Amino acid sequence: MTATLPVAPPLGSTSVAVVDDLHVTFKRGGRAIHALRGVSLDIRPGEILGLVGESGSGKSVLGLSMLGLLDDKASVSGAVAVRGQDMVTSAQSVRREVRKRHLGAVFQDPMTSLNPTMRVGRQVAEAAGSDDEAERLLAAVGIPEPHARMMAYPHELSGGLRQRVMIAMAVAGGPSLVIADEPTTALDVTVQAQVLTLLRSLRDEVGCSLLMITHDLGVAAQVADRVAVMYAGRLAEVSDTRTVLGAAAHPYTLGLMRSRLSLGSDRNRPLVALPGSVPSPAAPPDGCAFSPRCELAGPDCETAPPQAVEIAVGHRSACVLSKDEVTTRTAAVARPLPTVVASVSAGADAAAGSTDTEPAPLLSMRAVVKSFPVGSSLRHSTRLQALRGVSLAVSSGESVALVGESGSGKSTLLRVAAGLERHDSGELHLSSATRPQMVFQDSGASLTPWMTVEELIGERVRGLGRKQRAAKVVEALSLVGLPAEVAKAKAGQLSGGQRQRVCLARATVVVPPILLCDEPTSALDVSLAASVINLIGRLRRELGMAVLFVTHDLSVARVVADRIAVMYLGRIVEVGDAEQITGAPVHPYTRALISAVPDVGREPIVLPGEPASAIRPPSGCAFHPRCLQVTDGCAQDELDVRLTAFRHDARHQVACINPEPATPDTGVGVS
């Protein structure tokens, strides 16, 4: 970044923010919701503090407390001070002045924070003070052609660019502290890597502190100096990042670490997932809130909430057990889970066949093209080329993952396979008369809110009698691990994990030949995501279904699928066995996706730029404007790069004129 950024005022050694025994309680429906229950924390000058925990832990409420944006009706005790100013009891005008001079905020969904009716430049200028300063800020946060982007509306920018606009607004006044609440959760892994790198570099240039709220310890590890782990409104553990990740003292922290998916996770065993869920803030347990889920819980854990005590310099943990006891006993109870066919063998055998005869594909696509009209006049509009000649086959019982950034055509391919969209040209064949079933990313939006679970699932078996239908619903719920009483509930009364299980029950109550999953775990906490992935694997084995699974995360694809197909701008650029794609990728784009997966102790390779427009794809290889191995021949107009067998291996195909295998020492092969 070459543009000049505002610099935070010098602070000396005084903490930027101090939280002391903070309790926050809301009233909802006549009940007290205990969001925070005695949190004490400080943020030091120039540091990045990662705040980690599952949904419902109170992370966002703590962030809002520091911003002075709590509901006036909230019951608050304790203290929150930013630059010495009280952010709880002081007048609104005082808090507003503190926000203006010393605070910046970046939220998860920039579309809910940006005014859709105002041009981006005007919104940044309001925070920066002038158009010139706004343009400098847009350039500083890495937005290409900042002068032109000043005139754009938020909906005309990609998710990554919108988040960069929010970051520009957050640092406009040279704040002392920026609070970033899940700023990368809704982003692709490549854009996530860009944003994390940007936040870290801004800290270095502006000199501000950063509170990074996230549910992923891997994300925190990429940028944080210290990590604070929250659970059920209390701090479980606080220390420097290296200690928390390598020598954690609290069972919850260790559970989060074990639940994390990585490119090294064992594909042949169920993923480790924390049992149960975060307790309701309306009825927190009397003792340690984590004890109902803790493998080490004993009688002492049930009497009173343990206080966080310093077990080493700068390392606090809220557990009645010592660090050595936690480490030793966790190792003793963490026995390996039984070996099961989680992904590879069931589908690979079906795909390869036990005889010399290759089985007929259950789903077959050949040179499928799909475009959408863009513009006000459908007759004369331009076309967005969502699929540009895709060929793919899925065998009975096989699991195939589609991986790529937003806009690559993954979801469109899934909708064409489901019959929800008609393809323009090419061939599409389904060998079964039974239609595929889809499971969507947003389970809440796909369940009708005024219908009970029994009605939602029962719709698919309307030909049965009333009693038979009810029994079938209970059977479907049992298969996905839900009790029969859930049948009487509505979607709004269920947790996110329960809603996703209901969606799976609805999709499988009549067993489909192929289950189409569109990012079903991307919005879930790591432990909950592991549970859903385990469930999909078990349903696949027990029901004999094939699975076509869309994700932007190759670490997820690796444990879900037998084969992985990597998509970029409407085409498949590499396809092969899951271990082959993740262990020895060939296409530069695949290697970039692997490098962008957040992991502990590994620096990501940041892929420059964003995908080109699907309205006007680049000439030659569509990836060449971003490729780190581009040559003069990659951009030729007459070049039409298609999948070809790599080193005569028909199961591993690559669309690249300069294919290079990954180097064994790096696994990504990008210099």
Q: How far is CA 88 from CA 51, 92, 103, in A?
A: 20, 9, 15
The answer to whether the beta carbons of residues 529 and 500 sit under 8 Å apart is no
Selection from 85-94, 331-340, 490-499 with the highest mean pLDDT: 85-94
DSSP for 533-574, written as a single string? HHHHHHHHHHHT-EEEEEES-HHHHHHH-SEEEEEETTEEEE
- The mean pLDDT of 192-198, rounded to a whole number, is 84
| Least confident span in 66-70, 337-341, 405-409, 486-490 | 337-341
Does residue 461 carry a pLDDT above 80?
Answer: yes
Q: Report which of residues 345 and 422 the model is more confident about.
A: 422
Tokens found for residue 25: 């309680």
Amino acid at residue number 246? G
Over residues 145-162, the pLDDT tens digits come to: 888 889 989 888 877 788
Q: Which residue, chain included where needed, has tokens 């260790």?
A: 254
Q: What is the mean pLDDT of residues 495-504?
A: 83
Residue pLDDT, tens place only, 418-447: 999 999 999 999 887 678 999 887 777 788
Q: Judge whether 44-72+84-224 and 344-436+512-654 match in fold.
A: yes
Report whether pLDDT(663) > 50.
yes
Distances (CA, A) of 345 to 269, 362, 484, 646, 652: 12, 18, 33, 23, 18
Residue 353 has pLDDT above 50, yes or no: no
Question: Which pairing describes strands 17-28 and 31-43: parallel, antiparallel, or unpaired?
Answer: antiparallel
In this structure, of 7-11, 49-53, 94-98, the range with the lowest mean pLDDT score is 7-11
- Specify the range with the lowest mean pLDDT, choosing from 177-186, 224-233, 330-339: 330-339
pLDDT for position 365: 94
pLDDT of residue 1: 45
Using one digit for the tens of pLDDT, what is the confidence trace for 121-131? 999 999 888 99
Confidence of residue 349 (pLDDT cuts 50, 70, 90): very low
Q: What is the pLDDT of residue 344?
A: 37
Predicted confidence (pLDDT) per residue in 202-235, tens digit: 888 888 899 999 988 888 888 899 999 999 999 9
> Tokens for 85?
């100013």
Rounded to two decimals, the pTM is 0.83
**Is the sign of the CA dihedral 425, 431, 433, 435 positive or negative?**
negative
Whether the predicted pLDDT of 503 surpasses 80? yes
Residue 484: band (very low, low, confident or very high) from pLDDT cuts 50, 70, 90: confident
Q: What is the pLDDT of residue 5?
A: 55
The token pair that represents 583 in the structure block:
């262990």
Alpha-carbon distance of 154 to 563, in angstroms, equals 37
Lowest mean pLDDT among 39-43, 344-348, 558-562: 344-348
Mention the CATH class of domain 44-72+84-224.
Answer: alpha beta
pLDDT at 95: 92
Q: What percent of the chain has pLDDT over 70?
A: 90
CA 48 to chain centroid: 21
DSSP track, 21-62: EEEEEEEETTEEEEEEEEEEEEE-TT-EEEEE--TTSSHHHH
Confidence of residue 12 (pLDDT cuts 50, 70, 90): very low
CATH superfamily of 344-436+512-654: P-loop containing nucleotide triphosphate hydrolases (3.40.50.300)
pLDDT score of 577? 95
Domain ranges of the chain: 44-72+84-224, 251-333, 344-436+512-654, 443-510
Q: Tokens in use for 595?
A: 């490098």
Mean pLDDT calculated for residue range 370-378? 71
